[in-house]
């Protein structure tokens, strides 16, 4: 079972690249972020033609998340992060696939720090922690997957000293990430590559990809009950080098039961 996440930065602009990558990587489950399309402009036909079913939570201009599945049935269970009915941003969708809870998320960026956007990120994280604690308590096999907009550690950014006051690297958000791990969630890519530099995002500006000036933002966290099934994983960083690519690269794991 191959599970992947890809922040596409505009699903319609990214469609050729996305379809090419799907054909090459053949994931069983894919979580997408930053669709940047309203519900009715999700390219369902093309996704279906590529062999995938999909559920999605669209939004005009910004955000938007989707879960794709090749063969296994998708049962949607949440299309918003519980705890704030006034939050209208499409950043969360949760489904059961093959008896696993798949939590696809696009965490707020939170810049500039300090400010209301950073406060919104902290509030979102608080609600997210509540949801993930619940999943742990229910002892469900679950995957937290997507663009966390959190750089977990200094080694996950090419120049940590420049990022001290960036919302992606602020101590407050890294603390929440550590708390998730302390609760038993497993950072699958870091577990597979304990000593390597791993990036999942390279800015469009200043030839960041050519200079490998990257950061690690996209994560796949496994509930304790799934940890033993983790076989392999990686970042398809070559996709970042394709023409008309997203600024993120796809991240994937192989999971056996």
Q: How far apart are CA 26 and CA 36, in angstroms?
A: 24
- Contact at 8 Å (CB) between 144 and 185? yes
Q: Is 111 in the site for DNA (CB under 7 A)?
A: yes
Distance of closest approach, residue 146 Cβ to DNA, in angstroms: 14
Stretch that binds DNA, among 47-55, 106-114, 123-131, 157-165 (CB under 7 A): 106-114
Residues 123-142 that bind DNA (CB under 7 A): none
7 is in an annotated binding site: yes
Instruction: Count Cβ neighbours within 10 Å for each residue of 174-197 and write b for 16 or more, e otherwise.
Output: bebbeebeebebbbbbbebeeeee
Select from 66, 75, 69 the least CA-distant residue to 37: 66
Question: 61 or 182: whose CB is closer to DNA?
Answer: 61
238 is catalytic: no
| 21-80 binders of DNA (CB under 7 A) | 36-38, 41, 60-62
The nearest distance, CB 174 to DNA, in angstroms, is 17
Of positions 28, 94, 218, 247, contacts DNA by CB under 7 A: 247
Whether 28 has a binding-site annotation, put simply, is: no
Cβ at position 9, least distance to DNA in Å: 5
CA distance 34 to 18: 13
Contacts of DNA in 181-210 (CB under 7 A) = 203-207
Tokens representing 82?
């519980």
Task: List all residues 6 or more positions away from 168 whose beta carbon is below 8 Å from its beta carbon.
Answer: 109, 110, 111, 149, 150, 151, 215, 217
For residues 175 and 169, what is the distance between their CA atoms, to the nearest angstrom?
A: 10
Cβ closer to DNA: 34 or 94?
Answer: 34
DSSP string covering 113-169: SSSHHHHHHHHHHHHHHHHHHHHHHTT--EEEEEE-----SGGGBS-GGGGTTSTTT
CB of residue 60 to DNA, shortest distance in Å: 5
CB of 205 to DNA, least distance (A): 5
Rounded CA-CA distance 48/69 in Å is 10
> Of the two residues 9 and 254, which places its CB atom closer to DNA in the complex?
9
Report the binding-site residues. 7, 34, 147, 149, 247-248
Question: Which residues are identified as catalytic?
Answer: 106, 147, 248
Kindly list the residues in this chain that would bind DNA in the complex (CB under 7 A): 9-14, 36-38, 41, 60-62, 108-109, 111, 117, 203-207, 244, 247
């Amino acid at each position: 079972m191959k599970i992947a996440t890809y922040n596409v930065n505009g699903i319609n602009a990214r469609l050729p690249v996305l379809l090419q990558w799907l054909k090459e990587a053949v994931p069983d489950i894919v979580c997408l972020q930053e669709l940047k399309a309203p519900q009715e402009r999700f390219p369902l036909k093309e996704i279906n033609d590529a062999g995938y079913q999909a559920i999605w939570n669209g939004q005009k201009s910004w955000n938007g998340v989707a879960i794709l599945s090749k063969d296994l049935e998708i049962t949607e269970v949440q299309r918003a992060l519980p705890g704030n009915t006034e939050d209208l941003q499409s950043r969360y969708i949760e489904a059961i696939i093959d008896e696993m809870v798949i939590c696809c998320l696009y965490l707020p960026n939170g810049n500039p720090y300090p400010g209301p956007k950073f406060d919104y990120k902290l509030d979102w994280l608080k609600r997210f922690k509540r949801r993930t604690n619940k999943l742990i308590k229910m002892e469900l096999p679950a995957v937290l997957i997507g663009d966390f907009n959190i750089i977990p550690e200094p080694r996950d950014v090419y120049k940590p000293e420049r990022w001290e006051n960036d919302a992606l690297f602020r101590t407050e958000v890294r603390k929440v990430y550590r708390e998730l791990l302390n609760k038993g969630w497993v950072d699958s890519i870091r577990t597979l590559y304990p000593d390597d530099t791993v990036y999942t995002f390279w800015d469009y500006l200043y030839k960041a990809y050519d200079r490998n000036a990257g950061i690690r933002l996209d994560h796949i966290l496994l509930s304790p009950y799934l940890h033993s099934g983790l076989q392999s994983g990686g970042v398809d960083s070559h996709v970042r080098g394709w023409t008309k690519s997203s600024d993120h690269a796809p991240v994937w794991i192989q999971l056996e039961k």
